Structure 1
């Protein structure tokens, strides 16, 4: 079946890209031999242009005749001003180059005028938003309500990351899993809430297993750590976190992170390395599990009962300098969970601080 049009154009801010945008682009792709999608945000906006382009290219990789061109457009929006129209169109013409535009695809009321200025046919696509009821402004105002309209990379960008850290046998894994379960029980956008296990524990198990293959009597006290191990842990932990972020809900719970790995490196090797410290990122919230009143449970992979109080104190110091909100969890498990849920509620209550587009 031949295409109705040679070259089609779609323009927008894609702030952020959502299912309605993808529906529009796919409609253009189905009708044209070639499509140029012009991504034209203003510099005041909060999501980088290159990131939007990456997200769109990933989503539409199956239609290689659809190309994406990014240009900043810092002209205000005034549909009644011919000079403003011309300024916007100059940006779009620069993006499409010398190719003739045969059709303009749009869901907006300005589509007729935009097509006229390119001497092209206007093809309206779902102008009343009945097929895909969503808009960029609605997503910015409440990402949670429109979570199912966002692709995994966009979800990963919006997801609030909550990291649980603490000394050995203070319940970090239990808390991360409990929090994920608490939010999954809400259903809807929360049904897919995930938590990321501690990679360092997995590596400990592998190291101990390798020792026991040679000496069945080996214990965790025989495991040897070096700088490269902690670099591996920090990188693998961050990679697992990033992989999970796009597959879950608006909250992602992580059992430790790269910043905490630097504390563990200090505990085992006497100091943390610049290489590991450089891998630290800034989550949205830290939850510190206190060792006070928590019995030590020896599961065969733990060797630091005597250092728990020191580690709790060291975590307090390091997290205080992180620039990230920190909530310390104390008391029995249910009290800790209640405190953590309240902290997450405050985090979500703060919303997503996205700058308004130019009016």
Structure 2
């Protein structure tokens, strides 16, 4: 939405929401990232105003794109259509004691508002009073000591995992670190994915290709009751479907996951399977490859082959392990190879995931206030 659009909404919304305390409320912030405190602030403004304009004003140096923040906020506040979000970059220095710097910031905010008059400024920050004064508006302070919602953007950036419950599902999905378990048939990938997710207190994404194999075999058996997995055939479209459905399931799970999401296979693994069945991997499947945070490769050595009726590659396990090693080596993603008995493998996987969380997210600092 443009600044002019924001301005034009004020009279229309005011007419449609009679009895509100203020005609037009303003909320300004970086929302880096949006968290529960921000949502409570916006909700407080929405409850008391006919229309609210939220100006999202980050600096370009920050790590989360402006448009993404706007998308997150619009999703979170879709139930209050009289709240509108306008994005604008504000790269001016931060100095609350310098009137000239205040002028620069307020010029950015006024441009974002498109000239619309502001009746109340809602803020949880100390600068809210001065911002309201400069807009000749009422200052409304909301939970300045963070007692109702004990969180801040600084705290979230320093430790997203520690403030996970204060983040909206869409924001959590962006922060999620994805851990992908891959390996040849019957090397314990599914067992590992489920066990690792349970140990980490998160969710895991099952392998769609296995589900598709079961459906294909069931269809064959409608006409040929004696059909086996060796009769199942594959084409290029099947592998494109596997990638599409696997990634869709992964994206859905990321919204309800903990800081780590465990995935049983991905597009790179699918490319290896496509190579196995069709002799090569298609450009479409390879182009779909994403960049997870970590790969866990389950070695075949020492793992008995469990023929569950959907497996046909006992003789290819060593070859596939070699292919996975080569495929993952060129991914640019850290790889931990899991060997030995299950408990040892699980301990190695948990340690690798804990190391991943310990590294943090490395978000760029916002522009900080000048110290007096």
Which of the five TM-score ranges fits, normalised by the shorter chain? over 0.9
Residue 58 of structure 1 is aligned with which of 48, 53, 75? 75
Question: What is the deviation of 1:196?
Answer: 0.3
- Looking at structure 2, the residues matched to 235 and 83 of structure 1 have their Cα atoms a distance apart, in angstroms, of 53
Q: Which residue is equivalent to 1:188?
A: none
The normalised TM-score by structure 1 is 0.97
Q: Which residue is equivalent to 1:354?
A: 363
1:227 aligns with 2:229: no
Question: What is the deviation of 1:14?
Answer: 0.3
- Looking at structure 2, the residues matched to 317 and 285 of structure 1 have their Cα atoms a distance apart, in angstroms, of 15
Q: Which residue is equivalent to 1:5?
A: 22
Question: What is the deviation of 1:119?
Answer: 0.9
- Looking at structure 2, the residues matched to 213 and 250 of structure 1 have their Cα atoms a distance apart, in angstroms, of 43
- Looking at structure 2, the residues matched to 275 and 165 of structure 1 have their Cα atoms a distance apart, in angstroms, of 20
Question: What is the deviation of 1:160?
Answer: 1.1
Residue 207 of structure 1 is aligned with which of 205, 213, 216? 216
Matches within 5 A, 1:135-150: 135-150=152-167
Matches within 5 A, 1:155-194: 155-184=172-201, 193-194=202-203
How many pairs are equivalent? 351
Q: Which residue is equivalent to 2:332?
A: 323
Q: Which residue is equivalent to 2:117?
A: 100
Matches within 5 A, 1:75-154: 75-154=92-171
- Backbone CA RMSD of aligned residues: 0.7
SS state at 2:118 partner = coil
Question: What is the deviation of 1:143?
Answer: 1.1
Question: What is the deviation of 1:163?
Answer: 0.2
- Looking at structure 2, the residues matched to 259 and 181 of structure 1 have their Cα atoms a distance apart, in angstroms, of 25
- Looking at structure 2, the residues matched to 183 and 316 of structure 1 have their Cα atoms a distance apart, in angstroms, of 25
Question: What is the deviation of 1:2?
Answer: 0.9
- Looking at structure 2, the residues matched to 30 and 203 of structure 1 have their Cα atoms a distance apart, in angstroms, of 49
- For structure 2, the 5+ residue unaligned runs are 1-17
- Looking at structure 2, the residues matched to 318 and 233 of structure 1 have their Cα atoms a distance apart, in angstroms, of 18
Question: What is the deviation of 1:216?
Answer: 0.4
Question: What is the deviation of 1:81?
Answer: 1.1
SS state at 1:293 partner = coil
SS state at 2:336 partner = strand
SS state at 2:140 partner = strand
Residue 247 of structure 2 is aligned with which of 207, 226, 238? 238
Q: Which residue is equivalent to 1:22?
A: 39
- For structure 1, the 5+ residue unaligned runs are 185-192
Question: What is the deviation of 1:258?
Answer: 1.1
Question: What is the deviation of 1:24?
Answer: 0.2
- Looking at structure 2, the residues matched to 319 and 103 of structure 1 have their Cα atoms a distance apart, in angstroms, of 55
Q: Which residue is equivalent to 2:14?
A: none
Check conservation: 2:181, 2:192, Cα contact below 8 A: yes
Residue-by-residue CA offset, 1:53-74 (whole Å, 9 max, x unaligned):
0000000000000000000111
- Looking at structure 2, the residues matched to 147 and 301 of structure 1 have their Cα atoms a distance apart, in angstroms, of 38
- Looking at structure 2, the residues matched to 232 and 87 of structure 1 have their Cα atoms a distance apart, in angstroms, of 52
Question: What is the deviation of 1:83?
Answer: 1.5
Residue-by-residue CA offset, 1:288-317 (whole Å, 9 max, x unaligned):
000111111100000111111111010101
Residue 40 of structure 1 is aligned with which of 57, 60, 69? 57
Question: What is the deviation of 1:168?
Answer: 0.2
SS state at 1:108 partner = coil
Runs of 4 or more off by more than 6 Å in structure 1? none
Question: What is the deviation of 1:84?
Answer: 1.0
- Looking at structure 2, the residues matched to 62 and 221 of structure 1 have their Cα atoms a distance apart, in angstroms, of 52
- Looking at structure 2, the residues matched to 331 and 206 of structure 1 have their Cα atoms a distance apart, in angstroms, of 33
Q: Which residue is equivalent to 2:315?
A: 306
1:274 aligns with 2:283: yes
Question: What is the deviation of 1:323?
Answer: 0.7
Q: Which residue is equivalent to 1:190?
A: none
